[in-house]
Amino acid sequence: MSVRVRFAPSPTGYLHIGGARTALYCHLYAKAKGGSFVLRIEDTDLERSKKEYEDAMIEDLKWCGLENHEGPVKGGDYGPYRQSERLDLYKSLAQQLVDEGKAYPCFLTDEELEELTEKAKAEKNSPHHYHDKYRDLDPAEAKKRVEAGETHVIRFKNPRKKYTFTDIVRGEVTFPEDMVGDFVIMRSNGMPVYNFCCVIDDWKMEMTHVMRAEEHLNNTVRQLMIYEAFGVKPPEFAHCSLLVGEDRQKLSKRHGATSVVQYKDQKYLPQALMNYLCLLGWSHPDEKDIFDLDEIAPIFDLSRFTKAPALYDIEKLKHFNGEHMRRLSPDDLLSYLKPTLPSDHPFHTQSEGWQKDCVGFFKEKINIPAELPEHLEVLFSTEPQRGEAVDEVKGWETTAAIQEYIKTEVSKLAESGAEFITVDQFNDWTNHCKKELKIKGKFLFKGMRLALTGMAEGPDLKVVIPLTPMSVMKARHGL
Ligand code: GLU
């Protein structure tokens, strides 16, 4: 049987990085096994589901490089792929369970439910055991009340026994007999609940594996009951480790950016985000940490999931972005970084050759595009720097001599029409200061740096000086 896996988001918000990780594992596993990766939209919560979120999710999955083989846009043999378009199926199967005595209509009103919940609290019991009042109501009587239009939900008749299954990540998992009560499968507005439609769809769409986050583990017991009620063999389950923030709490907005779109907006490389997410809950057989999806797909397997909660660390993600950025070809590097700079940045006024040299040098200094403008200051800033380090160098009398000499040289060069200072010229000037002005050591190197860049520290002058436009050099010397 060929592998079929699905990513089944509820369109109630933007694609979360936890969701992107699940989608990534599904994508990789389908690819590794030559199977199908299915996108299913779980939109039965009418109040919270929005089409704009569905569209955004599809867009963001595409940006991640996780395109599906079947889904609401792509279509496929198992559609429709939006749960809101499959309501008749859920209704008829819920009715089938009622007819078979495996589910029943429940007429508890909201007030009654609340009262029972309070009672359970007072008696220090879990409330679901108090919600089964209609479990043994005569089916004929129940049918009459339903037909008379009485408001009701449909509850699943819990077989009240222990459930055990083997999870790919967590091993054998046992749910005690009293873990859940007679849970609702159809709401009073006629809409099915997640646990019910999820089972129906995973079954009817012939899913072989269900990968999802650990927080769904407790839903699995309900889902196992439903599979059993229909006499259907459940798929294999893999409940992937929880993503946590530095305080070890479940990842949430207060830990920083948690939506894929935020990383897209901050111009992270999708391949870096995918690489990082892949390793949060899975490990490479050769302990390799930097890879592309194409490299990893052939060796991705389900035996390498890790159980422990995975720490989501944005600083680490930045490092991954830097590594992937440095793997880009010169052309791709320029195409990546150039559009991240403001349109009025002087970078754009330089030639393409200059731009390539420039990003080729600064890629070593940065991990994410947002760090680039600050580094470019050394090439474009005409504001004299302040601070103790600058003042110290300025205070040396040798510095004044260097500055005077450099100003004359820059002026001569500018008049000759040169657009840049070459490395040779820079070397000649340094030698002049050494031999003629008799300046040595830190007085020479720091003095040269201050005279040329206005800064006390910075990257290699032999690289930055030939990249600094003459207009900037002139402005720095009041020319
Ligand atoms: N709609 C559920 C969610 O977004 C899917 C869970 C599952 O994969 O079964 O959390």
Catalytic residue among 143, 144, 162, 253: 253
pLDDT digits (tens, 9 = 90+) for 320-352: 999 999 999 999 999 999 999 999 999 999 999
pLDDT digits (tens, 9 = 90+) for 142-155: 999 999 999 999 99
Q: How far apart are CA 408 and CA 414, in angstroms?
A: 10
Spacing, Cα 188 to ligand 1 middle (Å): 22
**CA quadruple 387, 392, 397, 403: dihedral sign:** negative
**pLDDT exceeds 90 at position 129:** no
Spacing, Cα 100 to ligand 1 middle (Å): 28
Residue 9 CB less than 6 A away from ligand 1: yes
**pLDDT exceeds 80 at position 467:** yes
Residue 8 CB less than 6 A away from ligand 1: yes
- Average of pLDDT values for 280-308? 94
Choice from 197, 203, 216 to test ligand 1 binding pocket (greatest atom count within 8 A of CB): 216
- 162 in catalytic set: no
pLDDT digits (tens, 9 = 90+) for 165-215: 999 999 999 999 988 999 999 999 999 999 999 999 999 999 999 999 999
Fold entry, domain 87-186: Glutamyl-tRNA Synthetase; domain 3 (3.90.800)
pLDDT digits (tens, 9 = 90+) for 432-453: 999 999 999 999 999 999 999 9
pLDDT digits (tens, 9 = 90+) for 365-420: 999 999 999 999 999 999 888 899 999 999 999 999 999 999 999 999 999 999 99
Q: Average pLDDT, whole number, for the chain?
A: 96
CATH architecture for the domain at 4-70+195-241: 3-Layer(aba) Sandwich (3.40)
**pLDDT exceeds 90 at position 125:** no
Res 85: pLDDT: 97
pLDDT digits (tens, 9 = 90+) for 50-74: 999 999 999 999 999 999 999 999 9
Res 253: pLDDT: 83
Q: Quick one: angle between helices 441-453 and 397-415, nearest 10?
A: 50
Choice from 5, 10, 219 to test ligand 1 binding pocket (greatest atom count within 8 A of CB): 10
Between 120 and 104, the more confident residue is 104
**pLDDT exceeds 90 at position 160:** yes
| CA proximity to 366, closest of 407, 321, 409, 334 | 321
**pLDDT exceeds 90 at position 37:** yes
Query: Could you tell me the pLDDT band of residue 275, with boundaries at 50, 70 and 90?
Result: very high
**pLDDT exceeds 90 at position 126:** no
Determine which helix (DSSP H) or strand (DSSP E) holds 156, and give its type and residue range: strand 153-156
Residue 198 CB less than 6 A away from ligand 1: yes
The pairing of strands 163-167 and 153-156 is unpaired
Q: How far apart are CA 29 and CA 209, in angstroms?
A: 10
Residue 82 CB less than 6 A away from ligand 1: no
List, as own/partner pairs, every contact residues 257-262 make where C-beta atoms lie below 8 angstroms and the sequence separation is at least 24, other chains included.
257/314, 258/16, 258/17, 258/18, 259/13, 259/14, 259/15, 259/16, 259/17, 260/14, 260/15, 260/16, 260/17, 260/19, 260/20, 260/60, 260/63, 260/64, 261/14, 261/15, 261/56, 261/60
Residue 216 CB less than 6 A away from ligand 1: yes
Cite the DSSP H helix spans in 158-312. Answer: 194-204, 217-230, 260-265, 270-278, 293-296
**pLDDT exceeds 80 at position 431:** yes
